[in-house]
Amino acid sequence: MTRRHGGHVPIARIAALAALSAFVVALLGPAGLLDPAGILPRTGILEHTPFVERTALGRVWGGNGVVLRNTAVLAALTGALTTTAAWAAAHSHVHHDLPGRRLAHALCLTPLLLPPPTIALALLALAGGNGLLTRHLGIEPIAYGAPGLVLASTLSAFPYAYLVLLHGIELLDPRVAESAADLGADRRHLARREADALRPSLAIAALLVVSHTVANLADPLVLGGDYVVVATRLFEAATAENDLTEAAAHGVALAGLCLLTALAARHLGGRARPVTHRAPVRRHPPRGRGARAVVGVRVTVAAAVALSLAVVLLGAVGLLDRTGPTTAHLHGVLAGPFRTALADSVLAGILATGISLPLGLALGERLARARSARPERVVVLLGAVPSLVLGLLAWLVLTRTGSSAGHLLPSGASVLERRTWLLLVVVLVLASLPTTATTVADALRRLPTAPTNAALTLGASRSDLRRDVWLPALRGVVGAETATTFARSVATLAPVALLATSRTPLLPVELVTAAESGRLADACAMATTLGVLVGVVAILTAPGPPRPHPAPTETRDPWGVTR
Amino acid sequence: MRGRRGDGRRVPAPRAILAAVVCAALLVWSGTEVVREHRRESLSVLCSSVEGLCRGWAAEFTRRTGIPVSTVRLSSREALARLEHGAAVDVDVWHGGPAELYALAARRGLLSPHATADSVAIPAADRDPGGAWTGVYRGNLGFCSDAKALADLGVAPPRSWDDLLDPRLAGRVSTPDPVTSGTGTTMVGVQVRRLGGPAPALAWLRRLDRNVLQYTRSGMAPAGAVARGEVAVAVTFTQHCVRLDSAHRPLLVTYPREGTGAEVGAVARSASSRHPEWAAAYVDFATSRAGQEVGRAVQVPQLPTRSDVHADPRLLLPADVRLLVTSTNDAAGTEAVVARFATEVRP
């Protein structure tokens, strides 16, 4: 971290201060501040709401701040639980040798590719009022409200924390811990040292989980019960109350929280640090209570994900509600009443992936070449804006403006539907582009410099380099980003929840509606279809076995920029 | 993913080819489906009834007229909110959901009056005098219970609104959310009428809140929660309970002896309809005998508004239970209480 190019820390602080100020001003200001053009209507039950409660702060603070409090409690509990579990699982993956280690690793990452309410559906089937566990073990149902949300969010957000901590642990030199152990340091002392060394990674992991949890819409809609959080309040205000001021106020709160979280994570983590030493780690079977505990956590998480998958599969063939075995529910998705919703979601996913990948590659290359870190910070902040807020903005544009940018699309469909599709794709691209761009930029910075410098010396052009050096080297990144971008675009609810229409139904919206109205088998069939689709894409785009390449030997990066 | 041929040129690996083929196949299939759906003009219907019934109405209308229908199911308040966006949301018809919300929509100029072809067959009380909306089915608000679950809790099936406040039912009750559901709005209206004003109604709703496991966005979802065994009692229009009654989990319909509310499920043409003639034809169909018999054909029991269509006796209100609220007369007053519910009971 150097201050030569714009001063990393001061800029981050100024940006954080500006974001905080904007956030507070937006909350404190009257509704008119959020609505300078008077485009937000005051109809429906809003006609009966006193003026003071119509201020943005009044809206977000409504009911003595219970919605904010619920959100904060959920985020804090999920953040703490997920980060602890992910640390244990990542430590176990790096240090312990066990049968099924790779399978457990794959299962720990699987929630990344699952449609968001999959875990919630499984929890409902297992620990709901009539869940398998509730009935057979005679326990109280825990699927609804805060306990269910914490459990579902913990598993849903687990991969984010797990990946961050895995990377953090791989950065540590294992020889230090091994030498300390050889010299007689006890395990508790070693764990404390690892925690010290991992402090930034732990903080980033926790912040990522918090950000993911507060922006999650699907799980609270399915499991929330009367536990209302900011995301569900925003959704209800927009869809049922037509109270766009309240929706906007909650959108500002959500975006502010996520932006501040991203700034804090950026401040703590700094730039990505590549793993430059690959000193072999001696993996050993777990010995002692502590080791068995961390392995137990990892196995528990993997087993919970596997169980969720199995339960949803059983639900899809009607075995949970005793109507099966039957393929009627899957048939309904593939060839029945939900076929159009599936086709819409698949097309939107393919278009968004097809647009955001090349844009992400191009933007990532520019970020990696940029002499200042400022553009990347802007992209990181854009990536922190919750996709639900992007969806809300698109919905405002769709319902409140008369412009017909839809003429850009082929004729045939109604102008409104063309605008819906245009905004749908724009939202999905914006939801994925920043992540792709920053991932590509990080990957490019990690490339060894020698081949690039040699090629440049020999007169290769940028396009030659791009074709022959960078793109082949980025194969793994492109494969992973294809799968995650497609998963995000085809299966997530938040960005599209407000954009589905009668002519453009979308499967994630139908899924949550089915789950909410008790049609569990239909919901499981939709989750299974989306999961299989994303799984196939992930398998087809997965990178092959890694090819060894020499570690960087210079301090200059491939773009010739000293950092 | 790539290998090299003898002449040094790259050839794609089999997995890359497979990925490209899968991607192309998905693109062609989904693109064809979407283009086909959007190329043809269709009638856009917001449906606030049971998913299967919405599809049944659409299919039967298309079969009779050849006019394609695109349907989206929304709770009635979500449908009303969407209608308020006018032409920006491309809605031709709103079908299903309590008429009191249709009355609000008509007051706000969101509906286009249409004198239905067979309006004399519908009782005057079940249609708007100006033709803004027409009732196509009726429903009575009641309790849907899982008798076995109640027996396990040692609780008798509820026969009074206050029976829902029994502490043994904590976390075992599901009701529609008045903020999102027309059924929930009707429930709030009944409490205002029964208890004599907004303040005691809100106090009662606050006490009920302690027992509620889940407020659902849709009015029919609570019956689903009982049928799935998630809760023991639900407040719902009882046709949804009768529909989900099964040998596997027998459901019991009871009514509060203090009196209850009723809905007139309506149909109306949107003021911003792009296909006003098709929309009028749809409204005519929905009010016709054929339209009101669709429920029986798709096994969704309903009380028709027409006297010449068979009424399922399981849905009739017992003679000793009185109606406290007619469907549309308290709409505006109830709105204010729903607003207070949203801020005071379930913020």
| B193 lies in the same domain as B245 | yes
Chain B interface test: which of A45, A51, A136, A401 (most B C-beta within 10 Å):
A45
The Cα of B52 is separated from the nearest Cα of chain A by a number of Å equal to 10
pLDDT digits (tens, 9 = 90+) for A305-320: 999 999 999 999 988 8
| B47 lies in the same domain as B182 | no
Residue A57 binned pLDDT confidence (cut-offs 50, 70, 90): low
Tracing tokens 């699927």 back to the chain, one arrives at A143
**Cα B203 to Cα B206: distance, rounded to the nearest angstrom:** 5
Residues sharing a CB contact under 8 Å with residue A403, sequence separation 6 or more, in sequence order? none
**Whether pTM exceeds 0.80:** yes
Q: Within a domain: residue B90?
A: yes
* Strand-pair partners of B3: B11
**Cα A42 to Cα A29: distance, rounded to the nearest angstrom:** 17
Mean pLDDT, chain A, as a whole number? 81
Residue B324 binned pLDDT confidence (cut-offs 50, 70, 90): confident
Residues sharing a CB contact under 8 Å with residue A494, sequence separation 6 or more, in sequence order? A116, A215, A216, A217, A218, A231, A386, A387, A388, A391
Q: Within a domain: residue B211?
A: yes
Is the bond preceding A325 in cis, omega lying within 30 degrees of 0?
yes
The Cα of A109 is separated from the nearest Cα of chain B by a number of Å equal to 22
**Cα A157 to Cα A154: distance, rounded to the nearest angstrom:** 5
Q: With a cut of 50, say whether residue A405 has pLDDT above it.
A: no
Alpha helices (runs of H) in chain B, residue ranges in sequence order: 14-39, 51-65, 76-83, 99-107, 147-153, 182-195, 198-209, 221-227, 238-244, 276-287, 289-292, 294-297, 331-340
Reading the block at residue B80, the tokens are 């009303």
pLDDT digits (tens, 9 = 90+) for B178-205: 988 889 988 999 999 889 889 999 999 9
ipTM surpassing 0.90: no
Q: Do A412 and B84 touch (CB under 8 A)?
A: no
Residue A120 binned pLDDT confidence (cut-offs 50, 70, 90): very high
Q: Within a domain: residue B1?
A: no
**Cβ within 8 Å of A, B 269-298:** 274
pLDDT at A86: 95
| B76 lies in the same domain as B92 | yes
Classify residue A209 as left (phi > 0), alpha (psi -120 to 50) or beta: alpha
| B62 lies in the same domain as B92 | yes
Q: With a cut of 50, say whether residue A31 has pLDDT above it.
A: no
| B230 lies in the same domain as B339 | yes
| B230 lies in the same domain as B271 | no
Q: Which residues of B touch A540 (CB under 8 A)?
A: 15, 18-19, 22
Q: Are A116 and A218 in contact (CB under 8 A)?
A: yes
Residue A469 binned pLDDT confidence (cut-offs 50, 70, 90): confident
Q: With a cut of 60, say whether residue A47 has pLDDT above it.
A: no
pLDDT at B229: 86
- Chain A contact present for B185, CB below 8 A: no
Q: Which residues of A touch B26 (CB under 8 A)?
A: 346, 350, 533
The Cα of A332 is separated from the nearest Cα of chain B by a number of Å equal to 12
- Chain A contact present for B26, CB below 8 A: yes
Q: With a cut of 60, say whether residue A48 has pLDDT above it.
A: no
pLDDT at A128: 85
| B90 lies in the same domain as B226 | no
Q: With a cut of 60, say whether residue A488 has pLDDT above it.
A: yes
Q: Which residues of B touch A144 (CB under 8 A)?
A: 171, 213-214
Query: Which of A47, A339, A503 is opposite residue B42, by nearest beta carbon?
Result: A503
| B133 lies in the same domain as B216 | no
Q: Do A241 and B77 touch (CB under 8 A)?
A: yes
**Cβ within 8 Å of A, B 51-70:** 51, 55, 70
Q: With a cut of 90, say whether residue A358 has pLDDT above it.
A: yes
**Cα B108 to Cα A412: distance, rounded to the nearest angstrom:** 32
Overall number of domains in chain B: 2
Q: Within a domain: residue B10?
A: no
Tracing tokens 């429903």 back to the chain, one arrives at B139
Q: With a cut of 90, say whether residue A546 has pLDDT above it.
A: no
Task: Give me the domain span that covers residue B114.
Answer: 43-138+263-314
Q: Do B88 and A239 touch (CB under 8 A)?
A: no
- Chain A contact present for B230, CB below 8 A: yes
Q: Do A413 and B220 touch (CB under 8 A)?
A: no
Query: Which of B22, B216, B274 is opposite residue A536, by nearest beta carbon?
Result: B22
Q: With a cut of 70, say whether residue A434 has pLDDT above it.
A: yes
Chain A interface test: which of B37, B146, B205, B346 (most A C-beta within 10 Å):
B37
Q: Within a domain: residue B221?
A: yes
Residue B1 binned pLDDT confidence (cut-offs 50, 70, 90): very low
What is the pLDDT averaged over residues B57-63? 94
* Interchain CB contacts (distance < 8 Å): A and B: 194
| B177 lies in the same domain as B130 | no
**Three-class DSSP labels, A267-311:** HHHCCCCCCCCCCCCCCECCCHHHHHHHHHHHHHHHHHHHHHHHH
| B330 lies in the same domain as B206 | yes
Residue of chain A minimizing CA distance to B80: A240
3-class secondary-structure state, position B237:
strand
Q: Which residues of A touch B80 (CB under 8 A)?
A: 44, 242
Chain A interface test: which of B217, B240, B278 (most A C-beta within 10 Å):
B217
What is the pLDDT averaged over residues B162-182? 91
Residue A14 binned pLDDT confidence (cut-offs 50, 70, 90): low
Q: Do A46 and B339 touch (CB under 8 A)?
A: yes
- Chain A contact present for B324, CB below 8 A: no
**Three-class DSSP labels, A6-59:** CCHHHHHHHHHHHHHHHHHHHHHCCHHHHCCCCCCCCCHHHHHCCHHHHCHHHH
* Strand-pair partners of B265: B98, B137
Residue A18 binned pLDDT confidence (cut-offs 50, 70, 90): low
Q: With a cut of 70, say whether residue B265 has pLDDT above it.
A: yes
Q: Within a domain: residue B152?
A: yes
Q: Do B81 and A63 touch (CB under 8 A)?
A: no
Q: Are B97 and B47 in contact (CB under 8 A)?
A: no
Q: Within a domain: residue B37?
A: no
Query: Which of A62, A129, A503 is opposite residue B38, by nearest beta carbon?
Result: A503
Q: Within a domain: residue B95?
A: yes
Q: Which residues of B touch A480 (CB under 8 A)?
A: none
Which CATH number characterizes residue B115's domain?
A: 3.40.190.10
| B276 lies in the same domain as B305 | yes
Q: Are A349 and A489 in contact (CB under 8 A)?
A: yes
Reading the block at residue B140, the tokens are 């009575």
| B74 lies in the same domain as B197 | no
Residue A261 backbone dihedrals phi, psi, to 5 degrees: -60, -45
Report the share of chain A in percent with pLDDT over 90. Answer: 35
